[in-house]
């Protein structure tokens, strides 16, 4: 467990971030995050058939673990393969980075922190790739998430930090935790350490990072001015280690920076086409595969080739990154998932739908302007001018079903041939929505109260649903994602 005692720092969205006071262990976390993300970037950007053929014999570098027995049969249902031409099965790949120092050599922190067992999973990324290979979503799971998960030892469940699952039972236990918490079936996994990280960065000729503020970090030795810098492997490691001198020092802030870094790796690889350079490709993949553990389904170069080639048409603008929506806990050291916001994310993976979902287009009225007043904010009195008994009640029921607030139903003073809306001029936007929804013949600013008056005439055409323009800020909006084509300055 971490010895950190974070405090809360306000965020723009009104929540707070757990912020570390003691960054000793956090320096190593960023390296595992970056190493894991670098492997993911390679898989997304590799597109050279010739290059892969030459490195096929590097399969022996990859360690494999068969987790099927440990996972058992009580698992989420595997997503079916789409019947659409050109589609394959959607994939959910769990990328894990550990804080173990075993076999990592010197210069990577105090080995006494993780002297035994598997270590903890300092980064966990659930990557969903769509069946049509046109969209991908990478969701980071904070290590200090407070969760109830399978204990993986002796049955039952246990409650504690998410990253303890890896220490309890390695990849299988972490997969079981993810599947239980999300309902998403994990198809494949990678476990990554950081030895190959510098080789990836150096093979690209460096990776650019933009800083909002200067960095002078005595613990990592990194000194950079504000602005854009092309980081080589050593500098990139130092950047990943810097914590207290970047942003608010929190684990969440570090995850956000790693997502920005991965986006830069992807853009750099695609812009330079270095992965079509066989000597460079061989060097990088040789380094990375020596630092890679995978399931038996992705444990050979041939299997990695097939996966990489299936991803070669994936555009950076369609690769989304995000962190599990969360709220701080009262201990100020851990966080809890915001299930109301997280559930739609897991559902998108289960159903293989695009996330974040595209907002529906707002309805455009006859005047050429979009509607902005939501039905739930509109009060209506319905008057029956058709002469048909029960017509007002019938229309009122339809309006209620569409979300309007019907406050009264009555008979019009006299029969009328036209359907009209009468309203107080202060509620003209409400009148525009109601007039469109009821296909009213005319709309007249003549009311004196908030309640609009709808008179049904003999020309009544029925109701229709509307989509209003979303407000600029709402708690129901999906959590923010970033894409690999965004060039963002970090702090």
Task: Report the C-alpha gap between 430 and 421 in whole angstroms.
Answer: 10
- Do the beta carbons of residue 103 and residue 283 sit within 8 Å? no
Cα→Cα distances 91→35, 44, 129, 298, Å: 21, 13, 5, 12
Domain boundaries, the chain: 7-359+481-490, 375-456
- Do the beta carbons of residue 130 and residue 136 sit within 8 Å? yes
- Do the beta carbons of residue 131 and residue 84 sit within 8 Å? yes
Task: Report the C-alpha gap between 320 and 456 in whole angstroms.
Answer: 49
Task: Report the C-alpha gap between 458 and 386 in whole angstroms.
Answer: 5
The pTM of this model reads: 0.71
Cα→Cα distances 393→181, 379, 382, Å: 46, 15, 8
Q: What H or E segment, with its residue span, contains residue 309? A: helix 301-310
Domain 375-456 has CATH 3.30.70.2390: yes
More confident residue, 269 or 415: 415
Residue 174 has pLDDT above 90, yes or no: yes
Give residue-wise pLDDT tens across range 326-346: 999 999 889 999 999 999 999
pLDDT of res. 463: 97
Which of 276, 301, 332 lies closest to 49, judged by CA? 276
pLDDT of res. 437: 97
Q: Calculate the average pLDDT of the chain.
A: 80
More confident residue, 329 or 490: 329
Collapsing DSSP to helix, strand or coil, 43 comes out as helix
How would you classify the pairing of strands 326-328 and 335-337? antiparallel
pLDDT of res. 7: 34
Give residue-wise pLDDT tens across range 232-274: 988 887 777 666 677 777 778 778 887 888 888 888 877 776 5
Instruction: Give domain 7-359+481-490's CATH number out of 2.40.10.340, 1.10.3720.10, 3.40.50.300, 3.40.630.190.
Output: 3.40.630.190
Residue 487 has pLDDT above 60, yes or no: yes
pLDDT of res. 216: 87
Residue 64 has pLDDT above 80, yes or no: yes
pLDDT of res. 11: 34
Give residue-wise pLDDT tens across range 367-410: 999 999 999 999 999 999 999 999 999 999 999 999 999 999 99
Residue 187 has pLDDT above 90, yes or no: yes
pLDDT of res. 242: 66
pLDDT of res. 482: 87
Helical packing angle, 428-438 and 391-401, nearest 10°: 110
pLDDT interval class at 21 (50, 70, 90) = very low
pLDDT interval class at 25 (50, 70, 90) = very low
pLDDT of res. 201: 81
- Do the beta carbons of residue 151 and residue 117 sit within 8 Å? no
Residue 60 has pLDDT above 60, yes or no: yes
pLDDT interval class at 358 (50, 70, 90) = confident
Q: What percent of the chain has pLDDT over 90?
A: 45
Give residue-wise pLDDT tens across range 122-152: 678 999 999 988 999 999 999 999 999 999 9
- Do the beta carbons of residue 351 and residue 305 sit within 8 Å? no
How would you classify the pairing of strands 452-456 and 292-295? unpaired
Give the residue-averaged pLDDT of 317-321: 91
Which of 96, 97, 94 lies closest to 28, judged by CA? 97
Give residue-wise pLDDT tens across range 88-123: 889 999 998 765 444 444 333 333 333 334 556 667
Task: Report the C-alpha gap between 42 and 269 in whole angstroms.
Answer: 8
Residue 412 has pLDDT above 80, yes or no: yes
Cα→Cα distances 426→316, 423, 441, 447, 452, Å: 46, 8, 21, 9, 11
pLDDT of res. 36: 52
Residue 440 has pLDDT above 90, yes or no: yes
pLDDT interval class at 10 (50, 70, 90) = very low
Give residue-wise pLDDT tens across range 188-242: 998 876 666 776 788 778 899 999 988 888 877 888 999 999 999 888 877 776 6
């Amino acid at each position: 467990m971490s010895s950190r005692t974070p405090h809360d720092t306000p965020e723009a969205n009104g929540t707070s971030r757990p912020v570390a006071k003691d960054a000793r262990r956090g320096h190593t976390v960023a390296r595992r995050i970056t190493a894991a993300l670098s492997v993911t970037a390679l898989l997304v950007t590799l597109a050279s058939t010739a290059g892969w053929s030459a490195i096929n014999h590097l399969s022996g570098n990859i360690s494999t673990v068969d987790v099927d027995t440990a996972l058992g049969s009580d698992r989420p249902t595997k997503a079916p393969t789409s019947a659409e031409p050109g589609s394959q099965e959607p994939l959910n790949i769990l990328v894990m980075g550990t804080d173990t120092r075993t076999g990592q050599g010197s210069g990577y922190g105090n080995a006494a922190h993780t002297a035994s067992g598997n270590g903890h999973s300092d980064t966990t990324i659930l990557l969903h790739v769509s069946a049509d290979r046109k969209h991908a979503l990478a969701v980071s799971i904070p290590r200090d998430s407070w969760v109830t998960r399978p204990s993986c030892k002796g049955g039952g469940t246990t409650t504690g930090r998410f990253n303890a699952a890896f220490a309890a039972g390695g990849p299988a236990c972490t997969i079981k935790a993810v599947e239980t918490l999300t309902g998403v079936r994990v198809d494949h996994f990678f476990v990554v350490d950081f030895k190959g990280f510098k080789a990836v960065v150096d093979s690209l000729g460096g990776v650019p990072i933009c800083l909002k503020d200067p960095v002078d970090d005595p613990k990592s030795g990194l000194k950079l001015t504000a602005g854009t810098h092309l980081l080589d492997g050593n500098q990139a490691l130092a950047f990943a280690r810097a914590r207290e001198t970047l942003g608010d020092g929190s684990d969440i802030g570090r995850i956000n920076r790693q997502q920005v870094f991965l986006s830069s790796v992807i853009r750099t690889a695609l812009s330079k086409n270095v992965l079509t350079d066989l000597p460079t490709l061989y060097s990088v993949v040789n380094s990375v595969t020596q630092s890679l553990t995978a399931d038996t389904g992705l444990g050979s170069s041939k299997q990695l080739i097939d996966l990489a080639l299936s991803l070669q048409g994936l555009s950076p603008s369609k690769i989304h990154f995000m962190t599990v929506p969360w709220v701080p806990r009262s201990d100020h050291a851990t966080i809890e998932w915001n299930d109301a916001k997280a559930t739609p994310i897991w559902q998108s993976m289960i159903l293989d739908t695009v996330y974040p979902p595209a907002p529906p287009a707002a309805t455009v009225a006859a005047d050429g302007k979009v509607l902005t007043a939501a039905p739930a904010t509109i009060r209506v009195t319905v008057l029956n001018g058709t002469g048909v008994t029960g017509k007002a009640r019938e229309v009122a029921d339809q309006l209620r079903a569409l979300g309007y607030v019907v406050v009264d139903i009555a008979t019009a003073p006299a029969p009328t041939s036209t359907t009209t809306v009468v309203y107080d001029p202060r509620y003209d936007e409400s009148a525009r929505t109601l007039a469109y929804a009821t296909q009213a013949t005319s709309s007249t600013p003549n009311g004196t109260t908030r309640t609009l008056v709808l008179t049904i005439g003999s020309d009544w055409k029925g109701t229709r649903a509307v989509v209003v323009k979303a407000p600029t800020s709402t708690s129901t909006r999906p959590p923010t994602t970033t894409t690999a084509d965004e060039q963002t300055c970090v702090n």
